Amino acid sequence: MDFQTAEKRVLELHQLLNKYGYEYYVLDNPSVPDAEYDRLLQELTDLESQFPLLRTADSPTHRVGGAVLDMFNKVEHSSPMLSLGNAFNEQDLRDFDRRVRQAVGEDVSYVCELKIDGLAVSLKYDQGLFSHGATRGDGSIGEDITSNLRTIRSIPLRLQESVSLEVRGEAFMPKRSFEALNKSKLEKGEEPFANPRNAAAGSLRQLDPKIAASRNLDIFLYAIADPGDTGVTSHSEGLDYLEKLGFKTNPERRKAANIDEAIEFINSWVERRPNLPYEIDGIVIKVDSLEQQRQLGTTVKSPRWAIAFKFPAEEVVTTLKAIELNVGRTGVITPTAILEPVQVAGTTVQRASLHNEDLIREKDIKIGDQVVIKKAGDIIPEVVNVLADRRTGDEVEFFMPTQCPECESDLVRIEGEVALRCINPKCPAQIREGLIHFVSRGAMNIDGLGEKVVSQLFANKLIVDVADLYKLTKEQLFGLERMGEKSVSNLLNAIEVSKQNSLEKLLFGLGIRLVGAKAAKTLAQQFGSMEGLIDVTFEELIAINEIGDKMADSIVTYFESDEVRELIAELKAVGVNMDYKGPRPVAVEESNSFFAGKTVVLTGKLEQMSRPEAKEKIELLGGNVAGSVSKKTNLVVAGADAGSKLTKAESLGIEVWDEARLLEELNK
């Protein structure tokens, strides 16, 4: 076949495969057998192999996955992907409705949609062609997962119109795909996924797109990021427009003339949700009018024009087989219920926290009891109550030990606390948990040193304290399970890189009681180095706004320990950085900046910097950045599409700057 003939046939195959794919994956109404689709796809694959120039960005062959990626690049969203506020009962919904009507008037209608339990993603199209897609990430910056999203067959690679736009949706794994995947994993002796959401998220974060392609994911699109000049004036019109372009939207939606109709829609799905072929965890209610959405605006985290009603936690009955004790990093002994495995809200639950002995006594929990389990907020399993009337007499009362289950030291209960603690600083469990905390993302962030690897190193006596991590050798690591040459090299490199972390990472990693990540940064900024901090007094600490008496006492006590001082000296000797590397904030009384002592509110989209960057720069100059406008606000900086915060600032007579004026002041 010559090139021109092949080009013509490839175009025909594109049209046929796109048509058949749309019928099957979007309309759920196939017109040809699967075998015919597969035959045509194979023909296209062969032609593209023979004539590589004919493989275009919108080719249906992208659905089976491409080359393996090295890593995911970061992508900044054109507008933030905000999370939704939650409602848990009818009163929460009516309060939401009242706030909306107070802001925009009584003429309000809503759109009700199923809340898909999946992974929020953003898709960009240039002139009708799918160009790239990303995860939600932190709302401002996500990960580029374009290659994996191309494998989702319900995502059109070419739209019905040559438009450029960004759309938002929820990628998910249908129940059928989830069951098939877990069956395959069990047959291979692998750990199954806990629920479809985790499976979907894990599939979209695979570096090999062929793995994502094999997982049979799906998607529902639910919004246009910026309707712009589409002519769309309402959310419901936007959903219709998405369908017109060839996107898959969820048909189970309804316009509601008022909150009563919205509540009626919610109630209709409470019982029907198990019958769906995918998991949902609630209903989303949105103000339909885009103009009213604009008037309502957003908070830092969520839009004021939408709310997610979360379904009541599912409750099931199972047997409490045993109570296991865990020793935490701070020595707290936590009892955990070991349960007969049971499905709760789409997840297999085998464990539930019992928190402390007082709770066990209060709920009269015994080993062998039939217990009611639920997920609080559909996330954390907990024991609701015991079915005492089902007891047989074989149940066993549980008593907390008087000695640590790991090191056998006497346990103590500190005055004012309900928890039992092991206060032996050499307790193996505390040391192991402390090591796991030290290498975690929020602390020293040593890639490749997860909980299993740390536990393995500790069990083999290769590490006893955090300084030992920096003395590990290739020879020691080669002897461990699943540690090949590349893994060992990557791990040692990650350990070496972590030596250059700024001081606040080290302080948080050391696990000083009551000192979290924010307090660690405050200490690092205030004292500048470990040398400046190690001999700090109680009086010096409580003079810092963010540090109270209890934290100050904990810090002083920590650094008074000879063992701690020896550890810090050891870390310094192996090259771990002991200095703060970030910018130092200017004290208000020392600052000649305009922002010193002033309260500033940022609203709208900034073009030259992100809002977090602007916030950090203002705070470093002695300012305080608040999330809402009030009479105490001194300045509002309004970027593009500024909403209700700008309106309120103007009504209160508060000074308003644009981004150019902000940059001028910051650059002085």
Residues acting as catalytic residues: 115
Q: Are 280 and 196 in contact (CB under 8 A)?
A: no
Q: Name 280's bridge partners.
A: 116
Which of 609, 591, 563, 580 has the alpha carbon at shortest distance from 522? 580
* Joined tokens for residue 274: 């198990």
Pick from 441, 323, 297: nearest CA to 386:
323
SS3 338: strand
One-letter amino acid at 423 equals I
Among 473, 452, 448, 450, smallest CA distance to 462 is for: 473
Copy the structure tokens of residue 153. 């067959």
Residues 6 or more apart in contact with residue 290 via CB below 8 angstroms:
227, 232, 233, 234, 235, 238
Among residues 161, 155, 112, the alpha carbon closest in space to that of 130 is found at 155
CA 24 to CA 61: how far, in whole Å?
16
The type of residue at 311 is F
Residue 342 pairs with which residues in a beta bridge? Answer: 349
CA quadruple 406, 409, 410, 414: dihedral sign: negative
Place of tokens 């307790």: 427
Alpha-carbon distance 420 to 403, whole Å?
A: 10
How do strand 599-603 and strand 624-626 relate by DSSP bridges? parallel
Q: Rounded distance, CA 634 to CA 203, Å?
A: 47
C-alpha angle with apex 510: 504 to 513, nearest 5 degrees? 100
Cα(627)–Cα(250) distance, rounded to whole angstroms? 34
In the structure encoding, which two tokens stand for residue 15, read together?
């049209």
**The two three-digit tokens of residue 454, written as one number:** 């740390």
The one-character DSSP state at 629 is: -
Q: Is the dihedral of CA 473, 474, 478, 480 positive or negative?
A: positive
Sign of the CA dihedral with 502 first, then 507, 509, and 515 last: negative
Tokens for 322, please give them.
């045993």
